[in-house]
C-alpha cells in the first residue's frame, strides 16, 4: 500500500510534500507523488501526434518533476524518522484532465490514501468545485 500525493504546480511543493511525507510516515507506507501537467492536445496520457507537444508539455512536466525531486530529496535528507529515498517515488502525467490522470494512477497503483490540494481545479480554467461536487471525489473508487 502507499499514499498518493498529486502535485500540479511548482510553487506548492515544499509545504504540500512535507505534509504528504508526514502522513506516509505515520501510516508507515511509501509515498508516490504524481506530477501532473496540463496539455490540451493529448488524447491519451503521454501520447502525442506531433513533436510540438513533446517540446512544450514534456518540458513543463520535466521542470515540475525536477523541482519535486529536489524538494523530496531535501525533506528526506532532513527527516528524523528514518525515511529513505527508496520509500518515495515520483510518477508523471501529462494530459488535459487532472481527474482522469489521478483516477488512472489510483487504478494502476496500490494506493489506500490520495492527497490533493483542496483548491485544485479539474481543468486549468474551470471553477473551483465545492467539496461534495468535486469530480475526483464523485468518481474515485
**Tens of pLDDT, residues 61-115:** 899 999 999 999 999 998 777 678 899 999 999 888 899 999 999 999 889 999 9
CB contact at 8 A, 121 and 10 = no
Q: Would you place residue 40 in the very low, low, confident or very high pLDDT band (cuts 50, 70, 90)?
A: confident
Rounded distance between C-alpha atoms, residue 32 and residue 90, angstroms: 6
Rounded distance between C-alpha atoms, residue 31 and residue 2, angstroms: 6
3-class state of residue 114 by DSSP: strand
What DSSP designation does 23 have? H
Predicted TM-score (pTM) of this structure: 0.80
3-class state of residue 129 by DSSP: coil
φ, ψ at 95 (rounded to 5°): -170, 175
Nine-digit cell string for 3: 499514499
Q: Would you place residue 43 in the very low, low, confident or very high pLDDT band (cuts 50, 70, 90)?
A: low
- pLDDT reported for residue 59: 81
Rounded distance between C-alpha atoms, residue 32 and residue 36, angstroms: 13
Amino acid at each position: 500500500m502507499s499514499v498518493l500525493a498529486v502535485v500540479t504546480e511548482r510553487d506548492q511543493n515544499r509545504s504540500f510534500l512535507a505534509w504528504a511525507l508526514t502522513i506516509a510516515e505515520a501510516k508507515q507506507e511509501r509515498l508516490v507523488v504524481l506530477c501532473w501537467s496540463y496539455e490540451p492536445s493529448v488524447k491519451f496520457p503521454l501520447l502525442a501526434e506531433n513533436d510540438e507537444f513533446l517540446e512544450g508539455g514534456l518540458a513543463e512536466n520535466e521542470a515540475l518533476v525536477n523541482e519535486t525531486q529536489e524538494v523530496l530529496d531535501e525533506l528526506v535528507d532532513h527527516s528524523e524518522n528514518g525515511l529513505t529515498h527508496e520509500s518515495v517515488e515520483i510518477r508523471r502525467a501529462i494530459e488535459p484532465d487532472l481527474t482522469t490522470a489521478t483516477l488512472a494512477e489510483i487504478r494502476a497503483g496500490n494506493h489506500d490514501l490520495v492527497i490533493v490540494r483542496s483548491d485544485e481545479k479539474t481543468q486549468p480554467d474551470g471553477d473551483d468545485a465545492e467539496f461534495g461536487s468535486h469530480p475526483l471525489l464523485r468518481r474515485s473508487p
